[in-house]
Amino acid sequence: MAADLSRRTFLKATATATAATYASRVLPAWAADGRGAVAVTPPLATFPYSDVELLDGPMKRQFEENHARFLNLDDDRLLKVFRQVAGLPAPGEDMGGWYDLTGFSLTGNDFHGFIAGHTFGQYVSGLARAYAVTGSEATRAKVHRLVRGYSETLDAKAKFFDDYRLPAYTYDKLSCGLIDACEFAQAPLAMDTHEKLTRAMVAYLPEKALSRAEQRSRPHKDTSYTWDESYTLPENLFLAYQRSGKAFYREMAKRYLEDDTYFGPLSQGNNVLPFEHAYSHVNAFSSAMQAYITLGSEMHLRAATNAFHMLETTQSFATGGWGPDEAFGEPGRGQLGDSLASTHASFETPCGAYGHFKITRYLLRVTRDSHYGDSMERVLYNTILGAWPIQADGTSFYYSDYATTGKKGWHRDKWPCCSGTFPQLAADYHISAYLRAADGVYVNLFAPSVVRWNDGGGKYSLTQQTKYPFENKVQIQVSGTRAAEYTIYLRIPAWSGSEPMLSVNGKRVSGPVNPGTFAAVRRTWKDGDRVELELSMPLRLEPVDDNHPRLVALMRGPLVLFAIANSQPAFDGAELLRSQLSNNAAGDLIANSVEATPVSMRPFMSIDKESYSTYVQLKS
């Protein structure tokens, strides 16, 4: 590896079996089409899925559970609703839940057949990404079969969407699945099918992105449910443009940017989040980021950056989750604290975490600000890693419950939205742990894992071993077929106590190691070099909001510690901060309540059926 690790050689160096598709991202043809768009190359890029391997731990387990669940789901069942509408033979059992064609009635509080086939594209996407990670031939073949099977049901007018309740919602997910099937699993029919579908969808979509207020003001023949999510379309349309080079995708993406009522005000610092639907409006932030990357639109970068700040400072719980009852509230009114007494639907977990990972990854790539990695890991450890796995019949984990006294539970309906985002997110753990720069590698998540790349005929890797966040030490083993100069950047979380210890081969590094930054270690790395990071994890208390200063969550490092109890316990604040680590496998701390009762304080990942309080009362 050359001593000077130029961007070009580094990017070329990461070439692997998937590099042919990846190269188009490095020097994209669409970026120089001379039609006024000035694309931006963010300073950080994701590694290909295949370059990162998760080692034993909860992230790997979730990825494998999701991969197996959808690999083993019968093709005929997945394709049934599309075949039924197309008048083709439609063997196989009904999927059940939201996925089927008939039976929906809001009045009967029955969501059976809510949005037929809505998650098909997400299951294809999750499988395509899983193939990119594992190279599993059975997975690749399944993606190809599903794309072919779906394409056989698609006519030039996409009549599946006649009288369909939420056309933009389901189209967006099909769009993502077909793009991923092409990009990661090389499904030959995927992009032609995508274009045929997209051209037909124009007849079913509004002329522009509609806010919910605009949708409510328009008469709709289906009065039972009139919300659709046209404002989330641009991200995948921009990706389709990048994949195909076809300008009609780019022009269509521009049309569905919700600039007038959302991104415009957000870019000016005007907080228009209140009362909007939470997940889909966070998902829309990623459309703003694609507008920045594809068109060079600074306004959209400002909108996304401001909106994310508003999300964190006015809508978020200590866990990193947001949007009780799937809605944003008005800042300054104590809505988060009030929600603890009024709802168990505190955070739409798989969907919310998926959207949160996407926007933090985009913002991290563009800004290199470690704060976005801190936010990502908060959501990782306190929400999604504690979600129960999707069951064979489609029974799914949906809401995290932060009520005064809460419990984990299954969602009422089978195959809900959250069964679509979960397999996508679990695959995305691979592209979230490390990022690559012109001059080296960013270590963003601390997790047992390996990242591998090639450069100039040399092969290199970093292997992380850690029990983080249950322990505070991270070890990284450097491997390389030859010595090479590059920089390893390590995220030093903002919560970490003073003087994090960072050493190479047992010797403390001389450069700055400041909480809230990436610490940079540049040297000529040799095979067998060892990097060690030791973070102090002081206990701290976070109030739920300014109006409820005595309702607090106990935190250690990135972890919220939930009080295991049948009713909300009360503590003396100083006593709570004296909680002692226990030696049990759950990672509990033990705190004495005001009644001098020892209470187990447990991470969400370690909670199963027991009742808990996310927030406890402070008596003094």
Q: Give the binding site for Zn ion (CB under 5 A).
A: 348, 351, 417-418
Residue that has been written with the tokens 């800042």 in this structure: 331
Query: To 10 degrees, the CA torsion angle through 10, 14, 20, 23?
Result: -30
Closest distance to Zn ion from the beta carbon of 617 (Å) = 31
Closest distance to Zn ion from the beta carbon of 323 (Å) = 11
Closest distance to Zn ion from the beta carbon of 420 (Å) = 7
In the bound state with Zn ion, the residue whose beta carbon lies nearer, of 5 and 387, is 387
In the bound state with Zn ion, the residue whose beta carbon lies nearer, of 403 and 417, is 417
| CB proximity list for 429: less than 8 A, separation 6 or greater | 54, 59, 62, 63, 445, 447
User: By the 8 A CB rule, do 168 and 226 touch?
Assistant: no
Q: Is the peptide bond before 469 cis (omega within 30 degrees of 0)?
A: yes
Closest distance to Zn ion from the beta carbon of 557 (Å) = 28
Closest distance to Zn ion from the beta carbon of 203 (Å) = 28
In the bound state with Zn ion, the residue whose beta carbon lies nearer, of 238 and 397, is 397
Closest distance to Zn ion from the beta carbon of 559 (Å) = 24
β-bridge partners, 453: 460
The encoded tokens of residue 27 equal 């020097």
Q: Is the peptide bond before 274 cis (omega within 30 degrees of 0)?
A: no
The encoded tokens of residue 474 equal 């991270």
On the CB side of 14, CA atoms within 13 Å amount to: 29
Angstrom distance (rounded) from CA 39 to CA 79: 37
Closest distance to Zn ion from the beta carbon of 419 (Å) = 8
In the bound state with Zn ion, the residue whose beta carbon lies nearer, of 400 and 466, is 400
On the CB side of 5, CA atoms within 13 Å amount to: 24
In the bound state with Zn ion, the residue whose beta carbon lies nearer, of 328 and 460, is 328
Nearest by Cα to 149 from 141, 157, 139: 141
H-helix or E-strand containing 598?
strand 598-603
Phi, psi angle pair for 464, to nearest 5°: -95, 135
In the bound state with Zn ion, the residue whose beta carbon lies nearer, of 144 and 411, is 411
In the bound state with Zn ion, the residue whose beta carbon lies nearer, of 418 and 591, is 418
Closest distance to Zn ion from the beta carbon of 351 (Å) = 3
In the bound state with Zn ion, the residue whose beta carbon lies nearer, of 348 and 374, is 348
Closest distance to Zn ion from the beta carbon of 282 (Å) = 12
Angstrom distance (rounded) from CA 236 to CA 257: 12
In the bound state with Zn ion, the residue whose beta carbon lies nearer, of 398 and 571, is 398
Phi, psi angle pair for 475, to nearest 5°: -120, 135
User: First-to-last CA distance in the chain?
Assistant: 60
